[in-house]
Structure 1
Amino acid sequence: MDTALQERLHLALTAQRRAYEAERMPTYEVRRDRLQRLIAMTQKHGDALAAAMAQDFGHRARQESLLADIFTVESGARHALKRLRRWMKPRRVETPLHFLPARNVLMRQPLGVVGIVSPWNYPYYLAMEPAVAALAAGNRVLIKPSELTPATSELMARIVAEHFQPEEMQVITGDAEVGKAFTELPFDHLFFTGSTPVGRLVAQAAAKNLTPVTLELGGKSPAIVDRSCNVELTASRLAFGKLFNAGQTCVAPDYLLVPKEMVEPLSQKILAEMRRMYPRITGNADYTSVATPRHHARLQGLIKDAADRGARVLRSHDEQPDDRRLVPALLLDVPLEATVMQEEIFGPLLPIVGYDKVDEALAHVNRGDRPLALYWFGQDSAERDRVMRETHAGGVTVNDCIWHLGQEEQPFGGVGASGMGSYHGEWGFRTFSKEKPLFIQSRFAGTNLFQPPYGATFERLLSLLKKVV
């Protein structure tokens, strides 16, 4: 590894570690000030960040950047500010009868220095949303953003340096080698958002230092359509969920499971909704490009592979854009061995798989890795509850897509191959805190009765305890 790189990372970590050692439990006022500065930074530079993201993507809808990257960070920080004092307060917890009049208290302490590795698809949100939680919990924060969004990453580094001291929060830019070295640092917690294969490497790197990790990964998130659904509403919401950010969303619906007799009519409704939302693809400011040429070529390869295996490709528009905008496509009659049915798509392609009975849909979902998200569309509450009981997923939205991601009072995180750990709201505060149990003994404690030398008194007391606990 490059010596200068090692020194750069070591100095950044050491500076934050020393600052943490000098202030192990930041006050409410200090934490509030940091969150307020993060909000002010986001408000001041929101338009510049949206422009940088558009530059990195080739084109990104300004409104999508303002909603998904800027508003969400500001909203999450305001949510934390309103509840910060309550989150910080030590909590009394129940004390067993036989330990009274002692008491139990749960104290939340900052972990220390938190490392955040963020991806390219929502480059500001996925860097700053975990930073909100880490700062609220009283930690110091180092961020390594994606090298695939260089303009946004460089802008983040500059504006963070304007609003925070480097020992509070710092952004470290660089290529994949920097990212690898970053994950090998002895953080007190490492937070990673990205693909499952890279997540495995991050976990291995962190394990060398016994660094705890939160992994926000992805996977093939299914949408199950029930016969009881409102077809028009379902089509509209699926089209939006799939095409927001051109499908480059970790919780985008990856494929549909649809009753066989509904496949054709629902497909046509979805295509119609895609055309309504985006009357054209070429030159449409509302429609986002695929972020890199490599990802664009990969998606084209998925379409070709599926078509070569006999799938029907239904494109929403009869256009051939000359940039990285990709015409949305539904893929019908796709063989399960096709690559598009094996890998996370991360683009505006939507395979549709027909089923006869709900059991078949459930079996299909449960054969694969546990997804980050699952969607169910229908009005039959008994069927909905059955699907919820018999499947696993990181999170669920019913009768819509992706919006569970924005619920600050709910944990967000994966399960199994789609991730470990969670954040958002108080769940993020807890992720970046050590919940330290305090048992505060009373001067009137009777525990001395259990001290040796043991005898008949001990036996009688133990027998009594067995009856009361």
Structure 2
Amino acid sequence: MTSCFGACMQAQAPLVSFPATALVVPEPLGVVLVFSCWNLPLGLALEPVSGALAAGNVVVVKPSELAPSTAAFLAANIPRYLDPKAVKVILGGPEVGEQLMEHRWDKVLFTGSANVGRLILTKAAKHLTPVALELGSKCPCIVDQLDSKRDRQIAVNRIAGAKWSVCAGQACVAIDYILVEEKFAPILIELLKSTVKRFTATPECMAKILNTKHFQRLSNFLDDDRVARSVVHGGSVNQKTLTIEPTILLNPPLDSDIMTEEIFGPLLPIITVKKIEDTIKFVTSMQKPLAIYAFTKNEKLKHRIINETSSGSITFNDATVQYVVEGLPFGGVGQSGFGQYHGKYSFELFSNKKAVFKRSFLIEFMFRYPPWDDSKIGMLRHVFNTNYILLLLGLLGLRR
């Protein structure tokens, strides 16, 4: 079933087809499957579900088993407020996800790790199911020299807040590492140290690491002696409470795991460069990230970052807040994913843009039909070149 509901878009019809109307009409894809993740378990489930429903689809949502309380909440409450024939919640672990992917779907949205994303794509290929992937990445944060002490402190507040105050860095849009000029690095580090102490004065200010598996993965980063020697703040871990102190590292080896894998935790490497412009080369040498952050007043640098890098988003002078801007699409590029949602983009993600072209019987051009001769071919050339003046002269017999 197709209905515009104000979402139909008029397209330009070629003049040669006059009178005609061209429309782009969105239609539901059908039955879609949404895999949500554990770190923002309500938002990353309900937002795509609402977009899929708005587009007219039937939705099955599989919440992450790693957030069992939220998953149970969704399973208990979605049927109370939404038509159970339109939305169904399926609970379970990886084996349930694998069983779901054995079925044919009209669209799958997966939010999670790149490794699982590859498995989803492999399963989906069996039925040629279109897939949107929202994956993680190493999101860089470029910090330019800021002359004003106030600007420096605001920048550090926003960096520390984005890295350590929400999910303890366990978010796909979290800052993964910082790029800064050598001469500005000591100032930045001291500001980060004092700010993180204020922000995490009590234990409840920091989120725990998700589970033992993820805790061990993060601890292994620090077990590398070369990485451990780069720690300039923090570094303590507590397996019993699954907590890791906000940790700042200065120039850990670029070939170490902490600089080649997504961190997804409260560890923050700082990499120094000679000139701030060198940060662009560094960013482009890495996989395309979900987000790039840059704190700068340099308009030329901003322009270069926009035009010379590729990422799902760029945010200047703040971090992670782009996720809550409904007017902007949210999604990655390359290894950080593909497919975008948020606001109208959620509607578009779960819609088929059907092309509709309406013509009348008023005008008929016989030069479009065989048998071909030089005159007809000449007319067709005028059409393809959109040279309607010569076409009109030809139709009137005033030009061969």
TM-score, normalised to structure 1, is 0.78
Aligned-partner SS, 2:123: helix
Structure 1 residues 404, 456: closer, same or farther in 2, change over 3 A? Answer: same
Report the alpha carbon displacement of residue 343 of structure 1 after superposing the two structures with TM.
Answer: 0.8
Residue 234 of structure 2 corresponds to: 315
| Residue 255 (str. 1) matches residue 174 (str. 2) | no
Report the alpha carbon displacement of residue 120 of structure 1 after superposing the two structures with TM.
Answer: 1.0
Residue 407 of structure 1 corresponds to: 325
2:123 to 205, 208, 219: 205
1:122 to 40, 43, 62: 40
Structure 2 segments unaligned to the other structure (5+ residues): 389-400
2:195 to 269, 273, 279: 273
CA distance in 1 between partners of 2:106 and 2:351 (Å): 10
CA distance in 2 between partners of 1:464 and 1:413 (Å): 42
- Structure number with the higher helix fraction is 1
| Residue 303 (str. 1) matches residue 222 (str. 2) | yes
- Residue type of the alignment partner of 2:266: P
CA distance in 1 between partners of 2:163 and 2:227 (Å): 24
Structure 1 residues 447, 293: closer, same or farther in 2, change over 3 A? Answer: farther
Contact 1:309–1:338 (CA under 8 A) maintained in structure 2? no
Structure 1 residues 350, 438: closer, same or farther in 2, change over 3 A? Answer: same
Residue 154 of structure 2 corresponds to: 233
Structure 1 residues 192, 445: closer, same or farther in 2, change over 3 A? Answer: farther
- Residue type of the alignment partner of 1:213: V
Residue 141 of structure 1 corresponds to: 59
| Residue 112 (str. 1) matches residue 64 (str. 2) | no
Aligned-partner SS, 1:424: coil
Report the alpha carbon displacement of residue 263 of structure 1 after superposing the two structures with TM.
Answer: 1.3
Q: Deviations over 1:258-301 (max 9, x none)?
A: 111111211111121112222122xx2x3221111211121122
Report the alpha carbon displacement of residue 452 of structure 1 after superposing the two structures with TM.
Answer: 2.4
Report the alpha carbon displacement of residue 434 of structure 1 after superposing the two structures with TM.
Answer: 0.5
Structure 1 residues 319, 91: closer, same or farther in 2, change over 3 A? Answer: closer
Structure 1 segments unaligned to the other structure (5+ residues): 1-23, 29-84
TM-score, normalised to structure 2, is 0.91
**Number of equivalent positions:** 383
Aligned-partner SS, 1:269: helix
Contact 1:144–1:182 (CA under 8 A) maintained in structure 2? no
Residue 48 of structure 1 corresponds to: none
CA distance in 2 between partners of 1:166 and 1:251 (Å): 32
Aligned-partner SS, 1:331: strand
Residue 422 of structure 1 corresponds to: 340
- Residue type of the alignment partner of 2:86: E
Report the alpha carbon displacement of residue 322 of structure 1 after superposing the two structures with TM.
Answer: 4.7
CA distance in 2 between partners of 1:218 and 1:320 (Å): 25
Q: Deviations over 1:87-131 (max 9, x none)?
A: 3xx221111111111110111100000100111111111111111
- 1:352-431 maps to which residues of 2 (within 5 A)? 352-431=270-349
| Residue 290 (str. 1) matches residue 209 (str. 2) | yes
Residue 354 of structure 2 corresponds to: 436
Contact 1:225–1:376 (CA under 8 A) maintained in structure 2? yes
Aligned-partner SS, 1:86: coil
Q: Deviations over 1:31-65 (max 9, x none)?
A: xxxxxxxxxxxxxxxxxxxxxxxxxxxxxxxxxxx
CA distance in 1 between partners of 2:101 and 2:111 (Å): 12
- Residue type of the alignment partner of 1:225: V
Contact 1:142–1:169 (CA under 8 A) maintained in structure 2? yes
CA distance in 1 between partners of 2:96 and 2:355 (Å): 37
Report the alpha carbon displacement of residue 171 of structure 1 after superposing the two structures with TM.
Answer: 0.7
1:347 to 250, 260, 265: 265
CA distance in 1 between partners of 2:57 and 2:213 (Å): 36
Report the alpha carbon displacement of residue 313 of structure 1 after superposing the two structures with TM.
Answer: 3.9
Structure 1 residues 96, 326: closer, same or farther in 2, change over 3 A? Answer: same
CA distance in 2 between partners of 1:133 and 1:448 (Å): 46
What do you get for the CA RMSD once the two structures are aligned? 2.0
Report the alpha carbon displacement of residue 319 of structure 1 after superposing the two structures with TM.
Answer: 8.8
CA distance in 1 between partners of 2:275 and 2:155 (Å): 19
Report the alpha carbon displacement of residue 360 of structure 1 after superposing the two structures with TM.
Answer: 2.7
